[in-house]
A and B are shown apart, each in its own frame.
Chain A
């Protein structure tokens, strides 16, 4: 049986298990004096039976699907007497065998190859049979076991809840393990990078030009991996962005939360949030084609040197992009300040603006700071706008009219090229990623901590 069919059958079995478990519990209740005499509600008996019927079978099925190919391949390759040494050669051979099995004949097959192909087809066929048999036996057998165990004394609810808790835990772990996995992979690649480039050079070097000679005889730089210009570039662009986003976002939040009437609010808030839905590539477009030339022309008309791609253009547009982020978070926080505080201030004869400035904002400040820090980590991680509007030159500068580049942009350009995957150039991307990961992690940690502290104040 094909796997999808098997899966559908399994789902059907689970439904049946639920139904039979449920009705058996009802029957047990009827003979024993009503639903009250059961240890749990009848539906829990149904779920319990369904879980026994479906869960182990599903897990086995999943494992099977994961390891199926690898095992079959090992068996097939093990049966071949003189296979090539290199992994690439083995891959090629196995691909040939697979093609042969599928009927796409490529050239003349040797008898040895044909044997192997027959072996493969054989294994696949019997594997499928084994799969079907195993899953069905498992599911029906365990389902029947659970079904037979139904009695008024069985505490089905507790068992079901225990299983549910494990499932929830597994889902929670999935997110954590993914993070840890990403971190580890980045970490190991970074370590490899640091074997060819010293950490100190990476962290404190002032020069970034990751061009390695492709061939030994090529004239060219040997590459410089000082990340400082990238981090200053990131800082510069993010700082400009925050310079735009924080005041504008905060003030629009204050307006929305404190001054705007219901009507204005119901229009303005969704409008502002539409800004958040615009893809960053569109912003980048806007920055590169409209804002950057405008800034260049403006600067030149004032007699300043400006390149056509500038940190200022990217920063400004990125700031606009982050405004809804800041304003929406701050708006929530300001709204969460209890009305009684405003009443208290107004009752003492404060004006509206005094109330906002001296009571509401200080009360909301920790939450606002948390929101701003989250916005900063967004600014740091933003790539598209910078790629399009700030350029690629790793200038070590604080002049916003020059073009700069950021960590994220460099990661992209490093990995886009066709370098070998273990050259320092490519590995440098991982080191940069690691640095980025660490710094945003720290920022997020601080932000969440601040926000949490704020929550405690009013709970």
Chain B
């Protein structure tokens, strides 16, 4: 797969018309200008692998029907690590994230190929039960999606179905704790019985975060959790991510470079369904190896 040899030097203008990428790939390599960008885009630069990997993805391809959204991506996410995923809109960040807890199963026509493991166990193995898997790999979605239930019931939903708390007092504690950590408690403590759908967009997103951490997953996937939040709530969520890092593994998609730089240890840059570069966050933002990464973080496109 992906024998496509895309000349990265030519790929920067290709941004404007992504469909012509294949044409450009036919250009002889001798035409290229810089030595560094001889790299094939399909071959991820940097260090996509790490030793103590919680999640291990190898040669992942994702198809929506006929069209391929993810091309041959390999990446490790280390234990107690925060990995940020950045890249232009439509490059497949959400798609990739959804592979990790098999949320793509719910999309008709979506097909995932490749080896994905969680703690060494295959995620897409034939005997895997997705229900406990998703309890271990929680997710906060790009759009807030509170249930049409009370705020309390929204947060208590996960613990209830997994039988985490049996007594009401325990449940109360989990709910309060989760809401506090998501920075929502003070705003909603007097109206826990009001519907969650009645909150503002940003509050709903924090409710969804509280709902996700209430089941104490091992891995949390966050798809632009702060896109609807004000700076104060954003700071609160970033603080939460720092806290959670002690015990959890986190993959976060974000469009904010500053946020990626603040919260993550490693950063992965996606481009047109390919993983272009993975490096320590500091390296990515100060000294990117790949031209495309540099172009993106310096705001030349995307």
What residues of chain A have their CB less than 8 Å away from a CB belonging to chain B? 262, 338-351, 354, 358-359, 362-363, 457
In the bound assembly, the distance between CA atoms of A363 and B138 in angstroms comes to: 22
State whether the Cβ of B33 lies closer than 8 Å to any Cβ in chain A.
Answer: no
In the bound assembly, the distance between CA atoms of A343 and B212 in angstroms comes to: 12
Are B134 and A347 neighbours in the complex by a CB distance under 8 Å?
A: yes
Are A348 and B211 neighbours in the complex by a CB distance under 8 Å?
A: yes
Are A349 and B158 neighbours in the complex by a CB distance under 8 Å?
A: yes
3 nearest A-B pairs in the assembled complex, by CB-CB distance: A349-B135, A340-B145, A347-B139
Are B148 and A350 neighbours in the complex by a CB distance under 8 Å?
A: no
State the main secondary structure of chain A at its contact with B.
helix
State whether the Cβ of B260 lies closer than 8 Å to any Cβ in chain A.
Answer: no
Having A346-B134, A347-B101, A347-B103, one finds 19 other A-B pairs with CB under 8 Å, namely A340-B143, A344-B145, A344-B211, A345-B157, A346-B106, A347-B141, A347-B212, A348-B135, A348-B211, A349-B131, A349-B138, A349-B215, A358-B157, A358-B161, A359-B147, A362-B147, A362-B149, A363-B147, A363-B148
Are B106 and A348 neighbours in the complex by a CB distance under 8 Å?
A: no
8 contacts between A and B (CB under 8 A): A341-B145, A343-B141, A344-B146, A347-B134, A347-B212, A349-B158, A350-B161, A362-B149
CB distance from B165 to the nearest CB of A (A): 14
Cβ–Cβ < 8 Å partners of A262 in chain B? 108
Cβ–Cβ < 8 Å partners of B147 in chain A? 341, 344-345, 359, 362-363
In the bound assembly, the distance between CA atoms of A342 and B107 in angstroms comes to: 11
State whether the Cβ of B197 lies closer than 8 Å to any Cβ in chain A.
Answer: yes
Cβ–Cβ < 8 Å partners of A363 in chain B? 147-148
Q: Could you mark each residue 97-134 of chain B with 1 if its beta carbon is under 8 Å from any beta carbon of chain A, else 0?
A: 00001010010100000000000000000000001111
Are B106 and A342 neighbours in the complex by a CB distance under 8 Å?
A: yes
CB distance from B186 to the nearest CB of A (A): 24
CB distance from A350 to the nearest CB of B (A): 5
Q: Given contacts A340-B141, A457-B148, are A349 and B197 in contact (CB under 8 A)?
A: no
In the bound assembly, the distance between CA atoms of A457 and B195 in angstroms comes to: 10
The chain A residue with its CB closest to the CB of B107 is: A339
Q: Kindly identify, within residues 235 to 282 of chain B, every residue whose CB is under 8 Å from any CB belonging to chain A.
A: none
Cβ–Cβ < 8 Å partners of B139 in chain A? 347
Partner of A347, one of B108, B138, B162: B138
State whether the Cβ of B208 lies closer than 8 Å to any Cβ in chain A.
Answer: yes
Are A348 and B143 neighbours in the complex by a CB distance under 8 Å?
A: no
In the bound assembly, the distance between CA atoms of A5 and B147 in angstroms comes to: 65
Q: Given contacts A342-B106, A347-B139, A348-B138, are A354 and B148 in contact (CB under 8 A)?
A: no
Cβ–Cβ < 8 Å partners of A339 in chain B? 106
Cβ–Cβ < 8 Å partners of B162 in chain A? 349
Cβ–Cβ < 8 Å partners of A350 in chain B? 131, 157, 161
Partner of A348, one of B149, B161, B197: B161
Are A354 and B106 neighbours in the complex by a CB distance under 8 Å?
A: no
In the bound assembly, the distance between CA atoms of A340 and B107 in angstroms comes to: 11
The chain A residue with its CB closest to the CB of B133 is: A349
CB distance from B248 to the nearest CB of A (A): 15
Q: Kindly identify, within residues 148 to 183 of chain B, every residue whose CB is under 8 Å from any CB belonging to chain A.
A: 148-149, 157-158, 161-162
Are A362 and B101 neighbours in the complex by a CB distance under 8 Å?
A: no
Cβ–Cβ < 8 Å partners of B208 in chain A? 344
Cβ–Cβ < 8 Å partners of B134 in chain A? 346-349
CB distance from B293 to the nearest CB of A (A): 30
Are B103 and A343 neighbours in the complex by a CB distance under 8 Å?
A: yes
Are B148 and A348 neighbours in the complex by a CB distance under 8 Å?
A: no
Cβ–Cβ < 8 Å partners of A345 in chain B? 147, 157
In the bound assembly, the distance between CA atoms of A338 and B145 in angstroms comes to: 9
Are B148 and A349 neighbours in the complex by a CB distance under 8 Å?
A: no
In the bound assembly, the distance between CA atoms of A349 and B146 in angstroms comes to: 15
CB distance from A339 to the nearest CB of B (A): 8
In the bound assembly, the distance between CA atoms of A349 and B211 in angstroms comes to: 12
Are A457 and B197 neighbours in the complex by a CB distance under 8 Å?
A: yes
Are A348 and B157 neighbours in the complex by a CB distance under 8 Å?
A: yes
In the bound assembly, the distance between CA atoms of A358 and B160 in angstroms comes to: 11
In the bound assembly, the distance between CA atoms of A457 and B208 in angstroms comes to: 18
In the bound assembly, the distance between CA atoms of A345 and B106 in angstroms comes to: 12
In the bound assembly, the distance between CA atoms of A451 and B244 in angstroms comes to: 42
Cβ–Cβ < 8 Å partners of A347 in chain B? 101, 103, 134, 138-139, 141, 212
Q: Given contacts A345-B157, A348-B211, A351-B131, are A362 and B148 in contact (CB under 8 A)?
A: yes
CB distance from B129 to the nearest CB of A (A): 9
The chain A residue with its CB closest to the CB of B129 is: A351
Cβ–Cβ < 8 Å partners of B132 in chain A? 349
Cβ–Cβ < 8 Å partners of A358 in chain B? 157, 161
In the bound assembly, the distance between CA atoms of A344 and B155 in angstroms comes to: 12
The chain B residue with its CB closest to the CB of A342 is: B106
CB distance from A326 to the nearest CB of B (A): 21
CB distance from B148 to the nearest CB of A (A): 5
In the bound assembly, the distance between CA atoms of A219 and B149 in angstroms comes to: 67
The chain B residue with its CB closest to the CB of A365 is: B148
CB distance from A139 to the nearest CB of B (A): 58
CB distance from B50 to the nearest CB of A (A): 25
Cβ–Cβ < 8 Å partners of A344 in chain B? 141, 145-147, 208, 211
CB distance from A221 to the nearest CB of B (A): 57
Are B161 and A354 neighbours in the complex by a CB distance under 8 Å?
A: yes
Are B145 and A343 neighbours in the complex by a CB distance under 8 Å?
A: yes
User: Which of A343, A349, A351, A362 has most B Cβ within 10 Å?
Assistant: A349
The chain A residue with its CB closest to the CB of B208 is: A344
In the bound assembly, the distance between CA atoms of A316 and B211 in angstroms comes to: 45
CB distance from B299 to the nearest CB of A (A): 31
